[in-house]
Amino acid sequence: MTTTSTLDGVFAALSDPTRRAIVERLVKRGETTAGVLAEPFDMSKPAISRHLKVLEDAGLIERRIEAQWRFFRVRPEALADASRWVDEHRIFWESALDRLGAELKKPTTEQGDV
């Protein structure tokens, strides 16, 4: 079961476009090094490292060290937890909007008619 604080960390980490792009690259490429992840971004290595640390602290990615290389990969279960939360709330809001739409389609009575 996912706690609110865990989801808060996941959504906070994903609120940044650079971090979302990093996660997308990892989803497409699979496990890769920090250097490869940093290639498309016009920022310093320490800045990329900070983004990776935020993603790692949120549980979205994990790090593997091999000699001098740092490899990163997505933790799909963290994305699945966030997706499940979004789906549950989407279902609620779609149902609420369907009920509202049904109410709006009902014929209205003239003012004064009760």
Report yes or no on 111 lying in a domain. no
Q: What is the CATH number of the domain that holds 53?
A: 1.10.10.10
pLDDT at 31 over 60: yes
Report yes or no on 30 lying in a domain. yes
Report yes or no on 25 lying in a domain. yes
Long-range CB contact pairs, 19-22, < 8 A, 24+: 19/51, 19/54, 19/55, 22/51, 22/52, 22/55, 22/61
Report yes or no on 24 lying in a domain. yes
pLDDT at 28 over 60: yes
How many residues are present in the chain?
A: 114
Report yes or no on 40 lying in a domain. yes
pLDDT at 90 over 80: no
pTM of the model: 0.73
pLDDT at 70 over 80: yes
Q: Are 72 and 63 in contact, with CB atoms under 8 Å apart? A: yes
Quote the number of domains for the chain: 1
Report yes or no on 49 lying in a domain. yes
- What mean pLDDT value characterizes the chain? 87
pLDDT at 112 over 60: no
